[in-house]
Amino acid sequence: MSPSGERGRPLSSGFVQQSLGKEKSQLGEGAVTHEKADTSLNTEFDACVVRYGSAMTEVLERLTSAGQQKGFRKATLKQYAATVRLFRQLVGVTDIREIRQVHLSRFVDLMAAIPKSLGKREGDGDLDLETILARAKPLPMSEIGLSVSTMNGHLTRLERLIVRARLDGIDLPHRLEFKGLKNTEKRRPRDRRSTFSEKEIGRLFRHTIWNGCAGRKRRNKPGRLVIRDGL
């Protein structure tokens, strides 16, 4: 028996196409329904996702909290806070997503140009960059620039803040390189010697040994006698 709507009558091509069209239409409606359902699920998922703040102070807060749970010393956590404060103060970037390689290089250059005493006076944290550099101008070179170990420490802590931000799911668009910015001290610690400042040298040569003392047994007391018995 031939396939037919009625016995003995073959199905017309128009009827077949009409039937296929209905099936395609039904499939299409189903596909649209599923697509809408998927979109709805994605929207609900996005609404449930916790997005962490990208401000450097917020990243610092989360890193500090994790550090406390791991038993980090308070002094170590304070160093992280000092790094964030100094970076913001010198470079002016407050959002960790905005940090570029040029900001890191600028940070290193400025750390070498600021007074060593920055941060030890009350109110230093509120100074702008122009004021900081102006304060450094009249100082001798021995009092300008952070030490190599201090600069490397700031860079290391800043790098760990970047890692913390990535772990929090923050999208950081710029590739950052820290290794080439860190300086290495080739001398052994026992071979390192601090140099005299101009003030210290002046005090040394104003001593009574060079300018006259009260006698051989009173060399530290001012007088008119210059004893030339040194080696």
Pairwise pLDDT comparison (112 vs 3), residue with the higher score:
112
- Between CA 100 and CA 175 the distance in angstroms is 7
Shortest CA distance to 115 belongs to which of 146, 151, 84? 146
| pLDDT tens column, 152-209 | 999 999 999 999 999 999 999 999 999 889 887 655 444 555 667 778 888 888 888 8
| pTM of the model as a whole | 0.60
Residue 119 is encoded by which pair of tokens? 């941060």
Taking residues 66-95, report their average pLDDT.
93
What is the rounded average pLDDT for all residues in the chain? 81
- Between CA 202 and CA 183 the distance in angstroms is 32
Backbone region of residue 184 per phi and psi (left: phi > 0; alpha: psi in -120 to 50; beta: other values): beta
8 Å CB contact between 61 and 164: no
- Between CA 32 and CA 29 the distance in angstroms is 5
